[in-house]
Amino acid sequence: MSGQKTDIKVVLKPRTAEHVRIYWEKTQDKEIRRRIPLQDISLEEALRQFEASRQPGATSFGMCIEADGDYVGDVWCYGIDEAGEQMAMFSFLIFEKSLWGKGVGSEAARLFCQEAFSRYDIRKLGAFAYAENTGSLRALEKAGFREKERFLEEGRLSVYLEWQGVSAD
């Protein structure tokens, strides 16, 4: 039943090169690529990007999403800017289609936002989703993101949302 939340335990774990390989393979799926804007990169480039994210001063950070102990997707932020705008961009992807609409994405987003705001000196996270991807939009809104604007990009209606962090001041 799509749209129904179940009692699925969602946790975030550190990513490994093996996760990157699985993620890359799973995201070659045509239905996933239609729903989510993904870079068209090789596995080797994906592994290079992963290694770069592990270096000091990296401007991206990601974690694995586990649901009931199974690896089901990734969540990450990129374009981390602690000095200027104090923001980063956020994205998530659940590649296990049987979990779409079950609350896994919104719970992973909520957990990751807490992690990002405790880890980085940022005040907000931005996110994009295709307007027709109502599942992603609903997950982002349930996690605390609010719609800021809609616009056409490459002929598709897109939505920009933001999540405002709580200042530690």
Tokens of 23: 């993620």
What pLDDT, in 10s, does the model give residues 38-58? 888 999 999 999 999 999 999
Q: Residues 91-109: what's their mean pLDDT?
A: 96
Question: Does residue 152 surpass a pLDDT of 50?
Answer: yes
Computed over every residue of the chain, the mean pLDDT equals 92
Of the pLDDT bands very low, low, confident and very high (cuts 50, 70, 90), residue 36 is: confident
Of the pLDDT bands very low, low, confident and very high (cuts 50, 70, 90), residue 154 is: confident
Q: Residues 63-78: what's their mean pLDDT?
A: 97
Name all contacts of 21-30 with Cβ < 8 Å and 24+ positions apart: 21/47, 22/71, 23/73, 23/74, 23/93, 23/95, 26/95, 27/93, 27/95, 29/95
Q: Residues 130-139: what's their mean pLDDT?
A: 94
pTM: 0.89
